[in-house]
């Protein structure tokens, strides 16, 4: 999840994902799978504490693109 949030919030390409967040191919594959199966949509619609709503809005906008 951190890798997906990082890419959506920074706008960096998947290959530039910091290695501390995991292999970019695996993270990108998970992102695509979560888009297809509705997981990301559920994450974007879940009510979160105020401090997490900023990245949630960015993620929702990214997945709508």
Q: Which residues contact 33 (CB under 8 A, 6 or more apart)?
A: 39
Cα separation, 57 vs 60, in Å, equals 5
Residue 39: exposure state from Cβ atoms within 10 A (0-12, 13-18, ≥19): middle
% of the chain at pLDDT higher than 90: 48
Rounded-to-10 torsion of CA 31, 46, 20, 15: 30
The pLDDT-based confidence of 65 (bands split at 50, 70, 90) is low
- pLDDT over 70 for what percent of the chain? 97
Global pTM?
0.75
36-52 mean pLDDT: 85
């Amino acid at each position: 999840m951190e890798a997906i949030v990082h890419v959506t919030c920074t706008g960096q390409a998947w290959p530039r994902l910091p290695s501390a967040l995991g292999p970019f191919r695996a993270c990108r594959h998970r992102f695509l799978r979560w888009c297809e199966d509705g997981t990301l949509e559920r994450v974007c619609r879940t009510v979160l504490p105020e401090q997490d709503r900023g990245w949630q809005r960015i993620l929702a906008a990214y997945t709508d693109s």
